[in-house]
Structure 1
């Protein structure tokens, strides 16, 4: 009798508690508004990057800064969150797939195998040394890993590809991309200033730039003073590092799975299907475009610009997740670790170029 009364009382209490209703799905209009919002800010960042001075930083960093400032002063636009998240996740993966067109696998495999061996050493050093420094400095481990990968491989594209594998926060991804853009720009400008004073041939200078700088854009900026031959070898060395992004992602998948084995919680790692698209686009660009299908330089430049704009749009969505208060507390130590790594990497690469 007592147990029946207790059961009845329990049922009454449950009935009195408010039932949680599932959140309504956003309307198509709000969803499209969120996407349009990121596109507009990306366009503003793109225009700003054409202004002298800002052109050294690039559209990605400009758009992220605008998004961060918007968040701090006007808050996160919650009503259109679904569209913003679509941009930050789906556009990001789509941009990585299109990024594969920049990688000419045929040229790397036939002309850059010697450079590829040096690229492997550069990537291994950049990641391992940055992570080691990050532990010494007690820095945010996820952000340190992203910066190590961005420094070693290919900047923002590498950070975007690795982020979902190591389950990094959107905020860390945006901060990492912003830091890479800023530091890489400073280093590339420094290279161009040092070029006339260095006892390096155009080819050696190009190799040095290609195996040590962060983004393809940074390599192009620094390699230009070396002339067409120096720039070509610089880009070839850089493309080798881009090629190594694919095996690196699978190595990181294995590492994350091993690290999380035996721990409570969700240890499932989503397979990065966009990497398959990246490989297919690389093969398509290497062996079909320009051969079976003739394509003009203007068309390829248009595709490259579209890829950059899509990636910039995704960065806006990520930038809106950044809190300046958290940035002050969590970005300083990873930045120091990355700066030390970048300086040592530049010095070491100088002697192996």
Structure 2
């Protein structure tokens, strides 16, 4: 009996090492596609779409033609879940709380109105079009707050499917890019000062990258006020997430007859802590070089891209047309209305 036990024990080690290897391989696979997305974004046509959307596109095409790599599922899931939360935590460094509170209180009120408008109008249009409710809600939040980062943050709270999250991120990246390019074309034709143009872009465009793309041609004032307005929307992501938690618990209580359990988004605490560190510690208590901060920003982008690759591998194109077209139309109309509204409140 003892000999048999000794003989069986070593055979378990290859399985463990194999599982670890496949887990690492799965994570590496998501970063490989993220790298391909980065390279694709260097191509002129895809340059305006960006690394994130390009990587998701490659992941979706891989899934359709080669299937889901089941052996690597554990590592891919780690990227789409854990790395996603890690990226959101690091994203907090982009938010300077002190700047928002001192210089952007007026913008903060307008940002709040923008978020409420975007979410409610998108949901209302989705009902009219009988669009997918989950994707429409994610797109409304992404349009109102801060694009892919907002979608990634609220997805676990509303218990979104991975494929719905990836579809929403892909749509928000595409539409946001189209709008930011349109803004740069319209800029010379609009009777707006650089500051007004930057503010308009900051309170209406979808992501920080889109705001930077649209306002950079307007000069430093346009860029500064655009980013300040956008940071106000990022700042409001945290209270929005807690409000969604409350709504989900209430909804669960009505549906199930008892208080529903909603997983607390602990990564939001990390987001807040990193925001505090970035606002009051780095640069004041602890001197940090610009190169270091740029490195953190790049790490955030790569982790978020790898996470989106993991989500993109869950997308089935057969369901994409039926699920995404109507939410896309609803979000597109909302974005146009939001741009018009923001223009008149600047």
Tell me which interval the TM-score lies in, with the shorter structure as reference length: over 0.9
2:24 aligns with 32
1:70 aligns with 62
1:352 aligns with 345
1:8 aligns with none
TM-superposition CA deviations, 1:194-243 (whole Å, max 9, x none): 00010000000000000000000000000112110111000000000000
- Long gaps (5+) in structure 2: 1-14
| Offset at residue 50 of structure 1 (A) | 2.2
Q: Select 1:241's aligned residue among 233, 241, 245.
A: 233
Q: Select 1:286's aligned residue among 268, 275, 279.
A: 279
The higher radius of gyration belongs to 1
- Long gaps (5+) in structure 1: 1-23
TM-superposition CA deviations, 1:164-216 (whole Å, max 9, x none): 00000000000000000000000000000000010000000000000000000
Matches within 5 A, 1:189-204: 189-204=181-196
Q: Which moved more, 1:204-213 or 1:293-302?
A: 293-302
| Offset at residue 52 of structure 1 (A) | 1.9
TM-superposition CA deviations, 1:78-118 (whole Å, max 9, x none): 11111100000000000000000000000000000000000
The total of aligned residue pairs comes to 330
| Offset at residue 267 of structure 1 (A) | 3.1
How far, CA to CA, are the matches of 2:205 and 2:127 in structure 1? 24
Matches within 5 A, 1:113-124: 113-124=105-116
| Offset at residue 294 of structure 1 (A) | 1.2
| TM-score, normalisation: structure 2 | 0.94
2:11 aligns with none
Q: Select 1:308's aligned residue among 291, 301, 304.
A: 301
Matches within 5 A, 1:219-298: 219-264=211-256, 267-298=260-291
How far, CA to CA, are the matches of 1:351 and 1:262 in structure 2? 40
Q: Select 1:343's aligned residue among 328, 336, 339.
A: 336
Question: Does the alignment pair 1:146 with 2:146?
Answer: no
Q: Select 2:206's aligned residue among 190, 214, 233.
A: 214
SS of 1:235's equivalent?
Answer: helix
| Offset at residue 141 of structure 1 (A) | 0.5
How far, CA to CA, are the matches of 1:190 and 1:36 in structure 2? 36
| CA RMSD in angstroms, aligned pairs only | 1.3
How far, CA to CA, are the matches of 1:217 and 1:50 in structure 2? 16
| TM-score, normalisation: structure 1 | 0.92
* Mapped contact 2:250–2:260 kept (Cα < 8 A): no
2:35 aligns with 43
Q: Which moved more, 1:91-100 or 1:252-261?
A: 252-261
1:4 aligns with none
1:175 aligns with 167
